Chains A and B, each alone.
Chain A
Amino acid sequence: MNQDDLRRQIVGRAILLTGNDIDTDRIIPARFLKCITFEGLEAHVFEDDRRQMPNHPFDQAHYQGATILVVGQNFGCGSSREHAPEALKRWGILGIVGESFAEIFFGNCTAIGLPCLMLDTEGIAWLGEAVSRYPEQEVLLDVEARLVCFRERSIPATIPDGARNQFLTGAWNAMGVLLEAGNKIDDVARSLPYVAGY
């Protein structure tokens, strides 16, 4: 087990992005998907939103260097582009806290080692308010204890067991684990009428 792959806790300053249903087209517009590597995507994260909204959080001086992203409901909905979490990760984000996440986005974040924790409505509202007031202070995102801690509060957070286990054991890169099944994969293939032949 590579210790670098463990994601038990993440500590860092946070950046608050308000709003619900922020889709992956907004996180990284489609024209930046014209590429064959993920390199350089961080330069275009929220590009169109930032042009239309002076003082976008990603441009605010006090949020530079933040590693924890605080979001609302259904963050990352829409397109399955992994370019979206890659752009965030390459910008410097190491973990995300939100009220809820779109399913494919959540899976993509997990697959690249970016934990997404969920708080209830009151918890996320409090955290957002607190982070915007004290952006210089650090947030603790505790995957193991299922807590998000900031200043005087430790707020219970949720994360599905499967993803949490992957982060705690460093097995979020699923390829190696899946290949360990070995011949069992072929056994299942042979048992399927459409693979074996009708």
Chain B
Amino acid sequence: MTETLLDKIWRAHTVRTLPSGQTQLFIGLHLIHEVTSPQAFQMLREAGHSIRYPKRTFATIDHIVPTASQLRPFPDGMAEEMAVHLARNCQEFGVSFFDLDSSQQGIIHVIGPELGLTQPGMTIACGDSHTSTHGALGALAFGIGTSQVRDVLASQCLAMAKPKLRQIRIEGSLPRGVYAKDAILAIIRRLGVMGGVGYVYEYAGSAVTAMSVEERLTICNMSIEGGARVGYVNPDATTFEYLKGRPFAPQGEAFDRAVVWWRSIASDPDATFDDVVQLDAPSIEPMLTWGINPGQSIGVSERVPYPHEAPDADRAAWDEALAFMGLESGRPIVGTPIDVAFIGSCTNGRLSDLRVAAEVIRGQKVAKGVRALVVPGSKAVARAAEAEGLHEIFLTAGFEWRKAGCSLCLGMNEDKLTGMEICAASSNRNFKGRMGSPTGRTLLMSPAMVAAASIRGQVADVREMLP
């Protein structure tokens, strides 16, 4: 009988079948942050429990941290209190904490892979929907809520029903100027924002095999935007090469033994799936959103759609989205003016993202009136970028070079849109109010496309601007 990675990891981590019929699944790596954990620690305390496996939980602070100055105490009293609580909880319960004063702090989904905490074959949970990111290394990674954070702290387990599995094959080569972000936006456009509910997405095909781990992280990150709680790529030589030498990865001969196991948990070559979908990589063009969910996207050469073009069930949603966005149906999306350019987030805040954006920006200037910022995904990303001089390219062009955090992606710190500002963003969600202004508007796109828009002051086709 053939098995998929989902089957193998699920079986290896099954503790028992619960009376409800669900599986009690052991969680190998638990990641926590300041927003979704304080209530979980409080519940744990009230129940009189300790952490079952404190060495399998790691914490960092990312959502609420200021990115301009990170001096303590934070000017925002509530943000400071959350930071203090996380530090206190980690100390009381014996959890490793990559605090702001450590050199390893960053967005939790950036530092997990970067530190080698995220490894193939693991089950991973974090109180954050973008936990799907970690699947890029061949793990099963679940976004969970606060009660489940409590469950994992207390028992190192989750009660879960085994999902179905859809393989998404991206075949061929992505054209020049088209990136992993465009591929995942194209997938979500095709399958919809709820197409993945009840499914795990396995990303495969020659385009995915050719991708770096960082590109795979971008793809897996946005699985949840397509409704799939979990997305993964089978571990391969690219994965192993990425992990080699990372601080928490196995070292020396243990690494070689780990590779043997990691290879064994990949889906069998003749494995079968509940569903298979294929995308043609050469036909994907730079993508961006025109609406208020990540499925409402078009290629950069397309026009803003008319509501009558919507499938019947989506007509009202398209009306609402177009009204909120203030975009005119029938007009080319290219030329749409922007107010803010944001490069960062757990989707596209890694070194390769900054390199690509810097290539577009080098020698150029940010358009007058555009506020542009780069927020590296972690301190390590910032250090590596600075070592290459990328920050100079951004600063010279007129970008702000910020410190690591989630920033404008969800506007929980000082970085917010104001009024009806429109932001070209490399992040993951264009929901109403997402960037901190209830009427602010977000256009999701690749970092290269954000760079292009920042220079032109309007949506532009990056393929015309690549060096």
Contact = CB atoms under 8 A, between A and B. Distances in A.
Given A23-B293, A33-B35, A189-B156, A171 B20 contact: yes
Contacts of B15: 181, 184-185, 188
Given A171-B19, A193-B261, A178 B147 contact: no
B13 to A, nearest CB: 6
A78 interface: yes
Contact of A74 (B52, B144, B193): B193
A36 interface: yes
A133 interface: no
A103 B193 contact: no
Contacts of A18: 316
A70 to B, nearest CB: 16
A102 B227 contact: yes
Interface stretch (A7-15, A60-68, A144-152, A162-170): A162-170
A21 B320 CA distance: 12
Given A108-B147, A198-B258, A188 B39 contact: no
A160 B161 contact: yes
Contacts of A165: 19-21
A4 B149 CA distance: 24
B254 A174 contact: no
Given A35-B78, A112-B147, A30 B436 contact: yes
Contact of A175 (B76, B119, B154, B439): B154
Contacts of B157: 178, 181, 185
A37 B64 CA distance: 16
A79 B194 contact: no
Contacts of A189: 26, 53, 156
Contacts of A36: 38-39, 42, 81-82, 85
B20 A31 contact: no
Contact of A188 (B14, B145, B158): B14
Interface string B418-431: 00000000000101
Contact of B258 (A26, A80, A194): A194
B13 A192 contact: yes
Given A33-B412, A185-B26, A111 B145 contact: yes
Interface in B246-263: 250, 254-255, 257-258, 261
Given A48-B438, A185-B155, A111 B147 contact: yes
B154 A34 contact: no
A184 B13 CA distance: 11
Given A185-B155, A188-B14, A193 B78 contact: no
A194 B119 CA distance: 9
Contacts of A112: 147
B155 A80 contact: no
B129 interface: yes
Among the interface residues A18, A26, A82, A197, which one has the most CB atoms of the partner chain B within 10 A? A82
B151 interface: yes
Interface string A174-192: 1101110100110011011
A34 to B, nearest CB: 4
A30 B410 contact: yes
Given A80-B144, A189-B156, A194-B119, A181 B24 contact: yes
Interface in A96-150: 100-104, 107-108, 111-112
Interface residues of A, number: 65
Nearest to B22: A162
Interface string B92-126: 00000000000000000000000000010110000
A111 B19 CA distance: 16
A154 interface: no
A74 B317 CA distance: 12
Nearest to B412: A30
A107 B145 contact: yes
Given A20-B317, A80-B145, A103 B197 contact: yes
B411 interface: yes
Contact of A19 (B19, B24, B320): B320
A30 B26 contact: no
B412 A169 contact: no
Interface of B: 12-16, 18-22, 24, 26, 28, 35-36, 38-39, 42, 47, 49, 52-53, 56, 63-64, 76, 78-79, 81-82, 85, 119, 121-122, 127-129, 131, 143-148, 150-151, 154-159, 161, 193-194, 197-198, 224-225, 227, 229, 250, 254-255, 257-258, 261, 293, 313-314, 316-317, 320, 410-412, 429, 431-434, 436, 438-439
Given A179-B155, A184-B15, 17 more contacts: A73-B313, A74-B194, A74-B227, A82-B147, A108-B148, A166-B20, A171-B19, A175-B151, A177-B20, A177-B159, A178-B159, A179-B49, A185-B15, A193-B257, A194-B122, A197-B254, A198-B254
25 contacts: A19-B316, A20-B317, A23-B431, A26-B433, A31-B436, A34-B76, A34-B82, A35-B78, A77-B193, A78-B431, A80-B128, A80-B143, A102-B194, A161-B20, A166-B20, A174-B158, A175-B151, A175-B155, A185-B52, A185-B157, A188-B14, A188-B15, A192-B12, A192-B26, A193-B258
4 smallest beta-carbon distances between A and B, as pairs: A111-B147, A108-B145, A82-B145, A48-B438
